[in-house]
Amino acid sequence: MSCTISGIGLAGFGTVGSGVWQILQEHGGLISSRSQGSAALEIRKIAVRDLAKKRDADAPAELFTTDLMEVVNDPAVDIVVELIGGTDAAFDLVAAALRAGKPVVTGNKALLAERGAELFALSKEHKAPIHFEAAVAGGIPIIKAVQESLVGNRIESIAGIINGTSNYILQRMTEAGLGYPEALKEAKDLGYAEADETLDVNGWDAAHKAILLGSLAHGFLIDYKEVYVRGIEKVTPLDIKFASDLGYVVKLLSLVIERDHGAIEIRTQPSFLSQKHILASVHGVFNAVAVKGDHLGDSLFYGRGAGQGPTASSVVSDLVEAARNSRSDRGFIPYQESGKLVEIDETSTSYYVRFSVTDQPGVIANIASILANHEIGISGTHSPVDADNPDAAFVEMVFLLHKCPFGQLKTALAEVEALDCLTARPVVFRIETL
């Protein structure tokens, strides 16, 4: 059976790039057979910063270059793969490839979340698709599921644990009682966290992925500057213990929820989640995305969210798609000019609020009075006695609050903070009922 070979230009040959090379060397024949010859793939150019650097896979020296644009300009390259990260050089490379009419495969969620509007416009203008399965949840085929398998559904909600580093850290804080610094160090020692862990722990890695999922599900480009994001850096063992005592776990959740009149609520933050919810059982560096469609109902996508094998697998999947449909409008083209995001202050959930207070008469009544004045109901309070220090002058008090708009809660808490009995700012977690 004759077939046409698609030439691949690979920008970046680190962990994922090496994995792509290894998969194509090991399974190239299988991929071609499964695609009936329509997706025979051959890497013909590899751009790297340092030719002398030792790498995880051996490729012929004549394939390598330090000129990034060679992977675009080489006439033997039909599809460009961007795996260098960042939003500057990566943007220039992807834009050049699209202007040359060459399909692009990328795992760069920050690039697409922050500069996707420009790139998708170029994609449409030059009829060169952008494929980005590897940008969200590693090896989990969530992009194709949203674009293809769920195309007949209105997607009502997406709830995901889509950053493995944060999930591992929170799990170790829960199971071993570690503080955040100790759990982070352990994650770094095991290679689960980068040397610069910022994007993982501050929530933005997960938020970028949620932005892409939200754009796909609802058809318009979401401005990352309008998205509410909080990380796990300030989560304490105390709050994790309270969560456990109350029947919850703390998870970094990314949510995309359709509200009234098609408005979209999108946010990423550490939240309380019932121990009985299926996402509560997602441990370690694994990812999971729960999707609810109006006809399908609930579905769960679960797997490894990062690492060489899973991410390279998604890149190869996109390469096959690009080779099969190299001049189609596949990828993502917004089908709505704009959409509405729900302001964060208008979003409503129940809440856990912890107050550090001096132990004196009337504290509970004073706080409860302020909450009542702002029409915020209390579903329960929790203030355990420290057995080692029952006469402590300072205590931690937890209020579980009924569902109300976040802005309403903020206004009430600003008034509570003015009370003389408080020794620190209140700590707030949303209680999610997914």
C-alpha dist (Å) from residue 307 to 16, 86, 127, 417: 8, 18, 31, 44
pLDDT of residue 340: 92
For 68-125, the pLDDT digits (tens) are 999 999 999 999 999 998 999 999 999 999 999 999 999 999 999 999 999 999 999 9
Instruction: Please state the rounded mean pLDDT for residues 325-344.
Output: 72
CA-CA-CA-CA torsion sign (322, 325, 329, 332):
negative
Query: With bands split at pLDDT 50, 70 and 90, how would you rate the model's confidence at 334?
Result: low
d(CA 327, CA 318): 14
Query: With bands split at pLDDT 50, 70 and 90, how would you rate the model's confidence at 215?
Result: very high
CA 138 to chain centre: 10
d(CA 301, CA 283): 14
Q: Which helix (H) or strand (E) holds 21?
A: helix 15-34
User: What is the percentage of the chain residues whose pLDDT exceeds 90?
Assistant: 73
pLDDT at 387 over 60: no
User: Tokens representing 63?
Assistant: 């394939």
For 398-413, the pLDDT digits (tens) are 999 999 999 999 999 9
For 46-72, the pLDDT digits (tens) are 999 999 888 878 899 999 999 999 999
Is pTM beyond 0.75 here? Answer: yes
- Unique residue bearing structure tokens 């989640």: 273
Instruction: Please state the rounded mean pLDDT for residues 188-202.
Output: 88
**Among 73, 75, 89, 17, which residue's Cα sits nearest to residue 46?**
17
HSE-CB for 98 with a 13 A CA cutoff: 27
pLDDT of residue 206: 95
Least confident residue range of 5-9, 34-38, 69-73, 112-116: 34-38
pLDDT of residue 138: 83
pLDDT of residue 95: 97
- 8 Å CB contact between 301 and 288: yes
- 8 Å CB contact between 231 and 197: no
CB-count burial class (<10 Å; 0-12, 13-18, 19+) for 141: middle
Instruction: Please state the rounded mean pLDDT for residues 348-376.
Output: 94
pLDDT of residue 55: 81
* Residue-wise burial string across 225-258, b where 16 or more C-beta atoms lie within 10 A, e elsewhere: eebbbbbbbebebebbebbeebebbbbbbbbbbb
Q: Which helix (H) or strand (E) holds 399?
A: strand 394-405
User: What is the percentage of the chain residues whose pLDDT exceeds 70?
Assistant: 94
Taking the alpha carbons at both ends of the chain, their separation in whole angstroms is 51
Mind telling me the catalytic residues? 209
**Among 250, 251, 211, which residue's Cα sits nearest to residue 228?**
211
Instruction: Please state the rounded mean pLDDT for residues 320-342.
Output: 73
C-alpha dist (Å) from residue 138 to 16, 315, 383: 10, 9, 41
DSSP summary character for residue 146: I
Q: Where do the domains of the chain lie, and which CATH numbers do they carry?
A: 5-138 (3.40.50.720), 142-305 (3.30.360.10), 344-432 (3.30.70.260)
Instruction: Please state the rounded mean pLDDT for residues 214-224.
Output: 92
pLDDT of residue 1: 45
Query: With bands split at pLDDT 50, 70 and 90, how would you rate the model's confidence at 388?
Result: low
pLDDT of residue 379: 96
- 8 Å CB contact between 193 and 200: yes
DSSP summary character for residue 402: E
pLDDT of residue 333: 66
d(CA 301, CA 137): 9
Could you list the beta-strand ranges (E) of 140-263: 155-161, 228-229, 248-258
Instruction: Please state the rounded mean pLDDT for residues 314-326.
Output: 85
d(CA 73, CA 391): 74
Q: Residue 238 is which amino acid?
A: L
pLDDT of residue 34: 79
d(CA 177, CA 179): 7
For 227-259, the pLDDT digits (tens) are 999 999 999 999 999 999 999 999 999 999 999
For 122-169, the pLDDT digits (tens) are 999 999 999 999 899 888 999 999 988 998 999 999 999 999 999 999
pLDDT of residue 309: 86
